[in-house]
Chains A and B, each alone.
Chain A
């Protein structure tokens, strides 16, 4: 699992049937300093998260297990809101609902 921040929405009307109704978001993985770690990616969301939220997500086969339909072609899924994250004694951030 990784820390990340949702930075946008992705709308794909036509998609694999098992993924109907699962929101897609543009997600930036973060490191322990809260800085971007690697490239942004598209992830399924199984919580009511939106742009600006600090979240944690899982990649690989487990991403599909988190979806309502568990045999779907998915490789990243947002699992939960991160209310607070601390590392090296510093505060990394918190969920900011409603931010851009």
Chain B
């Protein structure tokens, strides 16, 4: 799992059946301090996250399929959590409550 910022949305009306009706978000992996760290992905939302939120993303197929209850779905990237705050070495690296206005 990794931390990511939700930076955008994807509208995909024509796609494989297993993905129909699922919310797709563009997520950018970040370090605890907020630096970009890795390739931007598209993830299925399971927690009601939106643009500007910092989230927990799982990018592993077996976990994703277990969560969705579909053993054959070609799905691996899911938003599975909403980050309230991150603490590293005793200091708060990120706090959702004061982040809302700072994310581009």
Q: Which residues of A contact B (CB under 8 A)?
A: 1-3, 29, 31-32, 37-38, 46-47, 56, 58, 60-63, 65-66, 70, 77, 79-89, 92
Whether B40 contacts A86 by the Cβ 8 Å rule is no
Q: Which residue of B lies closest to A3 (CB)?
A: B42
Looking at chain A's contact residues, the main secondary structure is mixed
Instruction: Check B75 against A62 for contact (C-beta < 8 Å).
Output: yes
Report the bound CA distance from A37 to B42 in whole Å.
13
Contact B74 A37 (CB under 8 A): no
Contact string against A for B residues 42-84, beta-carbon threshold 8 Å, 1 for contact and 0 otherwise: 1110000000000000000100000000001111110000000
Q: Is the CB–CB distance between A29 and B19 below 8 Å?
A: no
On whether the beta carbons of B61 and A61 are closer than 8 Å, the reply is: yes
Q: Cβ of B76 and Cβ of A85 under 8 Å apart? A: no
Closest to A65 in B: B74
